[in-house]
Amino acid sequence: GLVVVAFDRSPEVYLDIMLRHGLDSNALSRCVRILDCYSDPLGWKQNIRSEQHQEDSGTPCSTNKDTITIFRSVKDVDKLSCSIIDLGRGFEGEGKTYFSVAVDSISSMLRHASVQSISGLLSNLRSHDQISSIFWLMHSDLHETKFSRAFECLSTMVACVEPEVVDSVYGEERRGDMSFLEHNYSKAKFHVRLKRRNGRVKHLYEELCVEGYDVKFISATSVSIEVNQSLLPKVQFNLELSEKERSDRANVVLPFEHQGKGEPIRIYDGRRSLPEAHQDPNLTTAALLDETEALKSANPKGEIHYLRDSDDERPDSDEDPDDDLDI
Amino acid sequence: VCCLRHATPAPRDRFASVDTHAHSPLRSMRLRTYVTYFLQLEAEMEEYGAGDLLSEAMCAGARVVVVEDCVEAPAAFVLHLLLKRALAAGGGGGGGAALLALAQPFSHYDRVLRKMGCNLSMHRKSERLHFFDLQGFPGGTQGGAIADSLAQLYSAVQRVVETCRAGENAGRFTVMIDDVSLLEVAANGSADDVLDFLHYCVTLTSEMNCSLVVLIHEDIYSSEDGVGLLAHLRYIADLVIKAAPLSTGLATDVHGQLSVVNKGMLIEQRPAKGQKVWSFHFKVKENGADFFYPGSRH
């Protein structure tokens, strides 16, 4: 089942979205519970009703009485935690039932409670044996970076939706001109950071496209290559290779790759090359003869077959052969 | 159609002269289609309150409207326009409004809207307009009681909305706040309390067929270190109307530029064309305002 902790939108909106995406109402009533922290988060409406001596009208929509539960004290984080768990325990099923928790949004929760208490809530939920996953929404520009980071540390996966067009020049000239936003309202960059069990961090990049009610994800492989190349440090000298340099490198024959092209193998051992030695009057003939003897007695029988690895491996390649290990 | 778009609402007699006596049935059919179309368009224009660019960008269904302005381009005229339309909404007397006024006394709004052809005193007497004079808000008690004062204010607003809805007029109700920056001042700078109050007003929009229109001064928050009320409001809003001065400076014909961002959260709000961001110029007049695309001023 799914428990939705709704702060930002009316519960009907979530139900409507789920219905629109194909879930039928039976499945909804079986698998979805909404903790309504939107309608009356601080209990003001209840106070008004009790002042006017009106009866409690309960949930706004009578057909969804089981699905939607109103919560009126959002400042009490412990009570919130208990309510979430209670709702989750209410799912029927054979054997042990697991449920997920969705929070919309942590930014709204942070207006009512401290970062520590909310982190504590998430940790409690995380360690609960019936909760299989928790996901929450956070508006990063509404908080200080350190708070966003704190919640990112708690998570195993962080998905960021970033604007396609960033108005870097938000100066006087662009003031009031928001036409660049048109593009941002239908397209965005989607960046996922996955923390693996073995500690490695994997990055995924996609492009997000909103058309009406559908959200499409287009994997942007070209984007990931650009990012990998930008992992090189930014220094004042060029660390990259031009095309000509790349092809020249591909054409280089490594010394241990061949057994000679018909010329005598000149293995450079620190001494001067033979033709130069011939011309040098200081070298004695005996020394020269020694050198030539050494060359001739090189054993031609042993062979080494060297198969060159691919040159295409980029620095910090993402593929870790140990990833297959599931320890 | 182009002609009607930029003109003031056409009186009904304009269509009396259409000649429906045709020589061929095809011609009469075509004429009848045109006539129906124009009548429909006129009805729509009446509902939106004139077919100008602002109403086109806004569409009828926007629930939470945030109007941003600055000293160089004040957007109080947008509030006046929306108030006039809210009180005129729905042909047969539907609709109503609640104005939470911290910026000006009633006499000011009365005078301004009278020049625009809307009699606020009459509406106030007939209970179509509920005016909350909040220039002295919150009054006596200060400190921790701010939340209580705001809760009481919300209670009063909710009562007004419920009464209006229970009456014969079940049309669109508009709650207008002029303005949120002053409300924050009245709350001693406590943005959280103001946001709580605004959240409750937003719940009214989803539960009671009601719109919320708030004015906020964007230039107050631009140099703040922390995140202010403005960022939160931009997230809550379904529609953001931002007034800004022209980059070229002052002009007599053009008073500034208006950007309308229609996020279209719910289905009835999505503009037909799918366009989400509108940008045009405006000129404020005694009896309203003109909206036009840059360069098309005639």
- Which of B262 and A279 is assigned the larger pLDDT? B262
pLDDT over threshold 80, residue B220: yes
Based on the number of CB atoms within 10 Å of its own CB, is B29 exposed (0-12), middle (13-18) or buried (19 or more)? Answer: exposed
Q: Does the residue A76 lie in any domain?
A: yes
d(CA B80, CA B283): 14
More confident residue, A274 or B116: B116
B231 to chain A, any CB pair closer than 8 A? The answer is yes
**Could you tell me if A225 lies within 8 Å of chain B, comparing CB atoms?**
no
- A8 and A151 within one domain: yes
**In degrees rounded to 5, what are phi and psi of residue B239?**
-140, 130
- What residues in A contact B192, CB-CB < 8 Å? 111
Indicate whether B14 belongs to any domain.
no
Question: Which of B207, B226, B259 has the CB atom closest to A60's CB atom?
Answer: B207
Look at residue B28 and tell me if it is in a domain. no
Name the domain count of chain B: 1
Both A146 and A160 in one domain: the answer is no
What residues make up the domain containing B82?
62-292
Range of the domain at A148: 1-48+64-155
Is the residue at A147 inside a domain?
yes
**How many angstroms separate the CA atoms of A3 and A135, rounded?**
11
Closest CA to A81 of A14, A32, A128: A128
pLDDT at B298: 54
Residue A27 lies in a domain: yes
ipTM: 0.76
Rounded Cα gap, residues B179 and B102, in angstroms? 6
CB atoms within 10 A of CB A236: 4
Considering the domain architecture, whether residues A15 and A130 belong to the same structural domain is answered as yes
* A281/A272 Cα distance (integer angstroms): 13
The 10 Å Cβ neighbour count of residue A189 is 16
In-domain check, residue B190 = yes
> Is B168 in a helix, a strand, or coil?
coil
Query: What is residue A190's DSSP assignment?
Result: E
Q: Is the peptide bond before B179 cis (omega within 30 degrees of 0)?
A: yes
DSSP string, A76-94: -HHHHHHHHHHHHHT---S
Q: Under 8 Å CB-to-CB from A253, ≥6 apart: which residues? A: none
Burial state string for B126-159 with b = 16 or more CB within 10 A and e = fewer than 16? eebbbbbebeebbeeeeeeebbebbbebbbebbe
Give φ, ψ of B170 to 5 degrees.
-100, 30
Say whether both A115 and A1 belong to one domain: yes
Is pLDDT above 60 for A279?
no
Where does the pLDDT of residue A29 fall: very low under 50, low under 70, confident under 90, or very high at 90 and above?
Answer: confident
B176 token code pair: 């207008």
Question: Which position has the higher pLDDT, A255 or B113?
Answer: B113
**Other Cβ atoms closer than 10 A to A58:** 10
Closest residue by Cα to residue B283 from B28, B36, B77, B59: B77
Section B244-255 average pLDDT: 86
Same domain, A82 and A210: no
Select from A313, A101, A318 the least CA-distant residue to A193. A318
CB neighbour list of residue B33: distance below 8 Å, 6 or more residues apart: none
- Judged by a CB distance cut-off of 8 A, whether residue A139 touches chain B is yes
Residues A131, A160, single domain; the answer is no
Residue A224 to residue A9: CA distance in whole angstroms = 35
**Is the Cβ of A161 closer than 8 Å to some Cβ of chain B?**
no
Residue A255 lies in a domain: no
Min Cα distance A140 → chain B (Å) is 11
Length of chain B (residues) = 298
Residues A140 and A160 in one domain: no
- pLDDT band at B228; cut points 50, 70, 90: confident
Range from A63-67, A74-78, A172-176, B213-217 carrying the lowest mean pLDDT = A172-176
Q: Are residues A93 and A216 in the same domain?
A: no
- Alpha-carbon distance of B195 to B179, in angstroms, equals 13
CATH number where A41 lies? 3.40.50.300
Mark whether A81 and A129 lie in a shared domain: yes
Q: How far is A107 from chain B (nearest CA, A)?
A: 10
Which residues 102-161 on chain B approach chain A with CB closer than 8 angstroms?
151, 154-155, 158
Could you tell me if residue A323 is inside a domain? no
* Helix A77-89, helix A115-127: angle, nearest 10: 20
pLDDT of residue B242: 92
B95 Cβ contact list (under 8 Å, min separation 6): B86, B87, B88, B89, B128, B169, B171, B172, B173, B174
Interface probe for B, chosen from A105, A144, A178 (most Cβ of B below 10 Å), is A178
The two tokens of residue A243 are 């095309």
B266 vs A contacts (CB less than 8 Å): 13
A104 and A8 Cβ atoms separated by less than 8 Å: yes
Q: Residue written as tokens 């919300």?
A: B154
Write a three-state SS string for B111-147: HHHHHCCCCHHHHHHCCCEEEEECCCCCCCCCHHHHH
Q: Per the domain annotation, does B75 fall within a domain?
A: yes
Residues in CB range of A256: below 8 A, 6 or more apart? A304, A306
- Is A317 a member of any domain? no
Residue B54 forms part of a structural domain: no
Q: What is the pLDDT of residue B60?
A: 65
A108 and A15 assigned to the same domain: yes
What are the structure tokens assigned to A210, written together? 């909103």
A20 shares its domain with A129: yes
Residue B33 counted as domain residue: no
Residues in A touching B279 (Cβ below 8 Å):
177-179
Q: Looking at chain B, which runs of residues are DSSP E strands?
A: 64-69, 96-101, 129-133, 173-178, 210-217, 239-244, 256-262, 277-285, 288-292
Length of chain A counted residue by residue: 327
Tens digits of residue pLDDT in B68-88 = 999 999 999 999 999 998 888
Per-residue model confidence as pLDDT tens digits over A185-242: 778 889 999 888 787 888 888 888 887 777 888 876 554 444 444 555 667 777 777 8
| CA angle at A136 for the pair A130 and A138, rounded to the nearest 5° | 160
Retrieve residue B61's tokens.
């269904």
Give the best residue of A175, A186, A187 to mutate against chain B (max B CB count within 10 A).
Answer: A175
Q: Which residue of A has its CA nearest to B271?
A: A212
Peptide bond into A242 cis (omega under 30): no
Number of CB pairs, chain A paired with chain B, less than 8 A apart: 79
CB contact under 8 A, B158 and A178: no
Mean per-residue pLDDT for A245-268? 71
Per-residue pLDDT band at B11 (split at 50, 70, 90): very low
B222: in domain = yes
Evaluate whether residue B43 is within a structural domain. Answer: no
Least confident of A69-83, A131-145, A163-177, B232-246: A163-177
Q: Is residue A294 part of a domain?
A: no
A71, part of any domain: yes
CATH value at residue B161: 3.40.50.300
Buried b (16+ CB within 10 A) or exposed e, B233-254: bbebbbbbbbbbbbeeeeeeeb
| Number of structural domains in chain A | 2
Which residues of chain A have a CB within 8 Å of the CB of B195?
111
Q: Are B238 and B259 in contact (CB under 8 A)?
A: no
Q: Average pLDDT in the B130-158 region?
A: 84
Position A309 confidence tier, pLDDT thresholds 50, 70, 90 = low
